[in-house]
Structures are given as C-alpha cells and as structure tokens.
Amino acid sequence: MKAIDAIYERQSVRDYTAEKLDESTVFDLVNAAIHAPTAMDEEPWAFVIIQDKTLLNRMSDNAKKLMQSGFEANLTQGNKLQQEHFLVPEFNVFYNATTLIVICAKPVSDFVSADCWLATQNILLAATARKIGSCVIGLAVQILNTPKWKQELGIAEDMSVFVPIILGFPSKETSIKPRKPANILTWK
Ligand SMILES: Cc1cc2nc3c(=O)[nH]c(=O)nc-3n(C[C@H](O)[C@H](O)[C@H](O)COP(=O)(O)O)c2cc1C
C-alpha cells in the first residue's frame, strides 16, 4: 500500500477478532515506530508490548475504577453521560484488542512527546498498510502512569507513558470518519 493510501484509509478500530498478531508483525510495527523523525537524534522511545488477555482485562478494569473516582470527584452533566458510556460492565477500555503497544520515554526534553507521537503515527500507518486495525487509547494513559502499573510492566520510575495503542484484526468494516476542511489561516 502506498503511504498516501495508508494515510487516507487509517481509522480507529474498536472491534477486533480474537486472532493475535504474531511476533514478527509486532516487531515490524515497532521497527516502523523507531524510524520516525526524532528531535536531536534522541530516539527517546521505549516499548511495552502486552498480548496477555487477562492482564489487558485487569488493566481495563483498573482504568475504569480510576475513571469512576474522577467522575465522582467532578460530576458535571457531561461527566454523567461519559460515566454511563464508559462504566458499563461490558465496556473494555481496549475494546478486546489482542495487542497493546505502549510507548514510553524519559521526559528529558521538550520534544520527547512529539517524538513519541510521531512514532505512534508510524505504527498506525504501518498497521493500516498491513490491514491491521489500531486505535490510540488516551483513556489508559493515567492508569499506565501509576507506580503500580509502571512497576508491573517494567517501566522505570523516571519514564513516562505517552501513548497506548491497541492493535488487532478488525472484525467488521467501518466507514472512515470525514474531516472538516483544513483551516488555512494564511497563504501568502
Ligand atoms: C490522543 C488521542 C487519544 C485517544 N483516546 C481514545 C480512547 O481513549 N478511546 C477511543 O476509543 N479512542 C481514542 N482515540 C481515537 C479518536 O477517538 C479518533 O482518532 C477520532 O475519533 C477520529 O477518528 P479516526 O481515528 O477513525 O479518524 C484517541 C485519539 C487520540 C489522537
């Protein structure tokens, strides 16, 4: 697939088959990630890969508990709607995807976050080119940055989790979300 086609065909997938990505495919995606541009050649990224279903489910339950306490602390109308959506027992933060790649880094300079997000986009596009579905899971960032989970996942104390990405084979076709026209402020 051409890069430009992957850009236009990528979409967030939230329904997966039970088939796991094999090891070489995961390596392939991580290799795509580390070819992203990187400020001052820092290459700050490090990766955690989780394919253990029980662990993913436990993490999802924990993330929901954390969300619950956030909602309770700040029960606005919007939060109530979110609470109804996210806290139903069957909701899984990772949509039952079979693989989670977590991008971590030591936040040592201003552009570490940018590097991690560029690496993320490489994973999303490389996955699309291989007909693998993906979705960034911002909802899991907070839980993954707790000392308990960092320790369990082998993430050093001085590292931060920047991006969790779920991956797997889409179980159904979904349509690509349209975008608003580009807001070009100046073209001189
Ligand atoms: C920083 C970030 C965090 C996101 N977090 C979540 C999330 O927690 N759960 C989810 O279902 N989708 C999440 N998404 C996916 C967005 O909802 C999705 O990209 C957006 O609706 C546009 O749809 P598309 O990716 O299919 O084009 C996240 C995307 C980004 C960039």
pLDDT tens per residue across span 31-52: 999 999 999 999 999 999 999 9
Token code pair at residue 40: 């001052």
Q: What are the tens digits of pLDDT across the range 112-152?
A: 999 999 999 999 999 999 999 999 999 999 999 999 999 99
Query: Is 80 among the domain residues?
Result: yes
Query: Is 90 among the domain residues?
Result: yes
Amino acid 88: pLDDT: 86
Query: Is 140 among the domain residues?
Result: yes
For residue 20, the CA-to-ligand 1 centroid distance in Å is: 22
Q: What are the tens digits of pLDDT across the range 2-38?
A: 999 999 999 999 999 999 999 999 999 999 999 999 9
Query: Is 79 among the domain residues?
Result: yes
How confident is the prediction for the chain on average, in pLDDT? 94
CATH number at residue 20: 3.40.109.10
Query: Is 72 among the domain residues?
Result: yes
What is the per-residue DSSP string for 58-117? HHHHHHHHHHHHHHHHT--HHHHHHHHHH-STT--TTTT-SEEEEEEE---STTHHHHHH
Token code pair at residue 181: 């026209």
Q: Using only C-alpha atoms, what is the Rg of the chain? A: 17
Q: What are the tens digits of pLDDT across the range 52-103?
A: 999 999 999 999 998 888 777 776 777 777 777 777 889 999 999 999 999 9
Ligand 1, atom 17: closest residue by C-alpha: 12
Ligand 1, atom 7: closest residue by C-alpha: 137
Number of domains making up the chain: 1
**Nearest-atom index, ligand 1, CA of 138:** 5
Ligand 1, atom 5: closest residue by C-alpha: 138
**In this prediction, what percent of the chain has a pLDDT beyond 90?**
85
For residue 134, the CA-to-ligand 1 centroid distance in Å is: 10
Candidate of 7, 8, 10, 12 to mutate for ligand 1, largest count of ligand atoms within 8 Å of Cβ: 12
Q: What are the tens digits of pLDDT across the range 146-172?
A: 999 999 999 999 999 999 999 999 999
Query: Is 123 among the domain residues?
Result: yes
Which protein residues touch ligand 1 with a CB less than 6 Å away?
A: 11-12, 14, 135-139, 177
Query: Is 25 among the domain residues?
Result: yes
Amino acid 75: pLDDT: 66
Query: Is 13 among the domain residues?
Result: yes
Q: What is the largest CA-CA distance in the chain?
A: 55
Structural domain boundaries, residue 39: 3-168
